[in-house]
Amino acid sequence: MELIVSLPQNDVAMARAAADAGAHALKVHMNVEHAASGTRFGSFAEESDRVREIITAVDIPVGLMPGAGLQALPTAEELTSLANDGLDFVDIYTHHMPLWFIGLPLKLIVALSEFKGFVEQPFYTTHLYTSAEQSTNRVYMCEASIFPKEEYGQPFTYHDYRRLRILQEYVDVPLLVPTQKAITPADAQWLTRTGTGGLMIGAVVTGTSLESIAKATTKYRQAIDSA
CA distance 95 to 110: 9
Strand partners, 29: 65
Domain boundaries, the chain: 2-225
CA distance 29 to 166: 29
CA distance 46 to 48: 6
pLDDT recorded at residue 76: 97
Mean pLDDT by 10 residues, the chain (227 residues): 97 98 98 76 96 98 93 95 98 95 95 79 73 73 94 94 90 94 97 96 95 98 96
The pTM (predicted TM-score) of the whole model is 0.91
pLDDT recorded at residue 66: 97
pLDDT recorded at residue 126: 78
Q: Which residues of 148-182 are buried (b: 16+ CB within 10 A; e: fewer)?
A: eeeebeeebeeebbebbeebbebbebbbbbbbbbe
∠ CA 225-220-61, nearest 5°, is 85
pLDDT recorded at residue 212: 97
CA distance 4 to 25: 5
3-class DSSP state for residue 61? coil
The domain over range 2-225 is classified in CATH as 3.20.20.70? yes
pLDDT tens digits, residue range 167-205?
Answer: 998 888 999 999 999 999 999 999 999 999 999 999 999
**Chain-centroid distance, C-alpha 152:** 16
State the DSSP H helix or E strand holding residue 107, giving kind and residue range, or none if neither.
Answer: strand 107-112
List phi, psi (to 5°) of 181.
Answer: -90, 165
Is residue 156 within 8 A of residue 183, CB to CB? The reply is yes
Spatial CA neighbour of 205 closest among 195, 213, 194? 213
pLDDT recorded at residue 122: 77
Residue count of the chain, please give it: 227
Q: State the burial class of residue 33 (Cβ atoms within 10 Å of its Cβ: 0-12, 13-18, 19+).
A: exposed
